[in-house]
Amino acid sequence: MSVLEITNVVKHYGGVRALVGASLTLEAGEVHGLIGPNGSGKSTLNKVLCGTVAPDDATIVIDGKTVTLRSPMDAHRHGIAGVYQQLSLIPELTVGQNLVLGVERTRAGFLSTTSARSAVTAVLGRFGPALGRGVSEQTKVVDLSPGEQQIIEIAKAVLKRPRILVLDEATASLHRDQVGLVFRVVREICREGAAVVFVSHRIDEIMQLCTRATLLRSGETIATVPIASTTESELVRLMVGEVATMAAKNTSLSADSSVLLEVSGLGGDVIHDVSFTVRAGEVVGLGGLQGQGQSELLLTLFGAMKAHSGTVLVGGKHHRIRSSRDAAHAGFALVPGDRGTQGMFAQRSIQENVSIVSLADRAWLRFLISPRRERAAAQEMVERLHMTIGGLGDQVSTLSGGNQQKVIIAKWLLAEPTIILLDDPTKGVDISAKAEIYGIIRRMTAAGASVVFNSSDDRELAVIADRVLVMYEGTVRGELIGEQVSYDGLVSSALLIGMVDEDSAAPQDPSDAH
């Protein structure tokens, strides 16, 4: 008997059909992939299952009994826990407090700190290898990296000992070692009888972890396929109809192309003595193991983190960047790694989000705003980037992850930047949207802009980067060029630099000094 059968799921958001009779069947002990393009309804289906979205219609059967899930508490009572793309952690609380939030252990009506501490210790022991040194239950969540926060979010769900665990893009911000640990824990809880719904746009993760996969498209269930007898290319064809064409590298770049960005000795709280150049029309990737200062370098260049030393030249002109406003005036644009909290105003309209950066450029006398011009500018970007939207007045939070990311890119394109800083820009978007974003990047570089690109996916860097700077512990330790910019080259360079540093830091045998 199936542990879960959810059928005839219908959900509309105004005029947008999110789900149209979707269905999913889940067996105990399996990891079941849920795949499909952005906007296909995956997240909505998962939220219906977890009680956070009320469907217009649905039949939900758990262990042979029809149930109604009106809230997350209902889902919890039926043994369902979910992890979404947007984190539910409270930054100012500790790791331990976040882990037990909502499921605090009580004894005689009072909180049981002993019982809670035991549960937290057990789950942190399971996930500890994926967290940095010094992270404990007393560490505040605000002090963790995005990847570590994601690990705590997953641990929080696992601590509930669910019979059905939903992981919706839970690995998108994790580096390869963290992903490996999450996979190990998922397989362990499945051996214990749990079932897992796993959403990822990384097809290789679906192939590695899942037993079966169900495809959604335009809110409908198209097919359920066994992974053992399915290839990656077949899954991609199911998702997008054909293998998306990735943007080619810029083969027209020459060594004497003009240097647009020159960074010398840049230092801050996390980065140290970083120096590099980027030529006009070039995409420079930031490689190395994740969490080695890549995001912090981009934030420092954009003035969102304070620089303690170093110089930044744009087009040969020195710029002192003390704020994001300074960076924007110097020609920088930043597409941040966390689009939900850093890249957009989630409750504001699509038009407002697209217009916000360049509003003054279209205003008469720099302060009188023309609604007609704003609508025209926003509509132009919607058409230019092939966004799928209901209307310009819709909240941007109603869009799929891929279309949200296009909105963030669009607001900067309107400002016509010369240097674009991209921090994991395709995290949580499907393969078709990725190809479109790659195409946007290449169109920007063809127009003479420079791009600095950080990605948690080495395969992506191998596709899009003309050159890669390998970072370790906040500084640039190597550079890959030409044929070296490959998946194997990126992985080996990241691991070898770490090994060399560990070897050099180890105490030497006195006999080796001769």
pLDDT at 510: 40
pLDDT at 506: 43
434 alpha carbon, distance to own chain's centre: 12
pLDDT at 352: 84
| Percent of the chain whose predicted confidence (pLDDT) is above 70 | 87
pLDDT at 87: 83
Q: Is the pLDDT of residue 267 over 60?
A: yes
Q: Is the pLDDT of residue 244 over 50?
A: no
Q: What is the CA radius of gyration of the chain?
A: 24
Strands (E) in 299-413, as ranges, are 307-314, 317-319, 332-335
pLDDT at 215: 92
Mean pLDDT of the chain: 84
Query: Does 340 fall in a domain?
Result: no
Alpha carbon distance 462, 472 (integer Å): 18
Q: Residues 26-38: pLDDT tens digits? A: 999 999 999 987 6
Query: Does 246 fall in a domain?
Result: no
Q: Is the pLDDT of residue 513 over 50?
A: no
Domain C-terminal end among 211, 240, 269: 240
Nearest by Cα to 443 from 233, 194, 247: 247
The residues, ordered by sequence, that sit 6+ positions from 253 with a Cβ below 8 Å of its Cβ are: 279, 281, 282, 466
The residues, ordered by sequence, that sit 6+ positions from 306 with a Cβ below 8 Å of its Cβ are: 268, 269, 300, 322
210 and 274 both lie in a single domain: no
Q: Is the pLDDT of residue 155 over 90?
A: yes
Average pLDDT over residues 502-506: 45
Q: Is the pLDDT of residue 514 over 50?
A: no
At residue 253 the predicted structure's pLDDT band, cuts being 50, 70 and 90, is low
375 and 427 both lie in a single domain: no
Nearest by Cα to 355 from 443, 363, 448: 363
Q: Is the pLDDT of residue 248 over 70?
A: no
Q: Is the pLDDT of residue 42 over 50?
A: yes
441: alpha, beta or left? (left if phi > 0; alpha if psi -120 to 50): alpha
Average pLDDT over residues 264-280: 94
71 and 170 both lie in a single domain: yes
107 and 204 both lie in a single domain: yes
489 and 380 both lie in a single domain: no
How many Cα atoms within 13 Å fall on the side-chain side of residue 351? 14
Q: Is the pLDDT of residue 106 over 70?
A: no
Query: Does 339 fall in a domain?
Result: no
Q: Which amino acid is at 87?
A: L
Alpha carbon distance 355, 224 (integer Å): 41
Q: Which amino acid is at 443?
A: R
Query: Does 248 fall in a domain?
Result: no
Nearest by Cα to 257 from 239, 218, 234, 283: 283
Q: Residues 168-194: pLDDT tens digits? A: 988 877 888 889 999 999 999 999 999
Q: Is the pLDDT of residue 149 over 70?
A: yes
pLDDT at 502: 45
Domain C-terminal end among 400, 416, 432: 416
Q: Is the pLDDT of residue 222 over 60?
A: yes
Query: Does 180 fall in a domain?
Result: yes
Higher pLDDT, 268 or 112: 268
Q: Is the pLDDT of residue 281 over 60?
A: yes
The residues, ordered by sequence, that sit 6+ positions from 54 with a Cβ below 8 Å of its Cβ are: 48, 70
Q: Residues 379-434: pLDDT tens digits? A: 888 888 878 788 888 888 888 777 888 888 888 888 788 999 999 888 767 777 77
Q: Is the pLDDT of residue 252 over 80?
A: no
Query: Does 178 fall in a domain?
Result: yes
Alpha carbon distance 164, 193 (integer Å): 9
295 and 371 both lie in a single domain: no
Higher pLDDT, 276 or 39: 276
182 and 302 both lie in a single domain: no
At residue 210 the predicted structure's pLDDT band, cuts being 50, 70 and 90, is very high
Alpha carbon distance 54, 44 (integer Å): 10
Average pLDDT over residues 53-71: 94
Between CA 378 and CA 382, with CA 379 as vertex, the angle to 5 degrees is: 90
User: Which CATH number do you get for residue 32?
Assistant: 3.40.50.300
Please tell me the least confidently modeled range out of 151-165, 244-258, 302-316, 374-388.
244-258
pLDDT at 341: 66
Query: Does 252 fall in a domain?
Result: no
325 and 352 both lie in a single domain: no
Domain C-terminal end among 401, 416, 431: 416
3-class DSSP state for residue 386? coil
276 and 216 both lie in a single domain: no
Place of tokens 């269905």: 23
Domain containing 387 equals: 346-416
At residue 154 the predicted structure's pLDDT band, cuts being 50, 70 and 90, is very high
350 and 443 both lie in a single domain: no
Task: Give the CA diameter of the chain.
Answer: 79
The residues, ordered by sequence, that sit 6+ positions from 223 with a Cβ below 8 Å of its Cβ are: 214, 215, 238
Per-residue CA distances from 263 to 89, 286, 418 (Å) = 36, 14, 15
Query: Does 441 fall in a domain?
Result: yes
pLDDT at 250: 61
The residues, ordered by sequence, that sit 6+ positions from 56 with a Cβ below 8 Å of its Cβ are: 10, 11, 12
- Classify residue 228 as exposed, middle or buried by CB count within 10 Å of its CB (0-12, 13-18, 19+): exposed
Nearest by Cα to 164 from 101, 76, 252: 76
Q: Is the pLDDT of residue 284 over 50?
A: yes
The sheet that has 220-226: what strands, in order across it? Answer: 80-83, 164-168, 195-199, 31-35, 212-217, 220-226
The number of domains in the chain is 3
- Tokens, residue 193: 């009888």
90 and 47 both lie in a single domain: yes
At residue 450 the predicted structure's pLDDT band, cuts being 50, 70 and 90, is very high
Q: Which of 235-239, 453-457, 478-482, 488-492 has the highest mean pLDDT?
A: 478-482
Per-residue CA distances from 291 to 145, 254, 386, 467 (Å) = 7, 31, 33, 20
368 and 460 both lie in a single domain: no
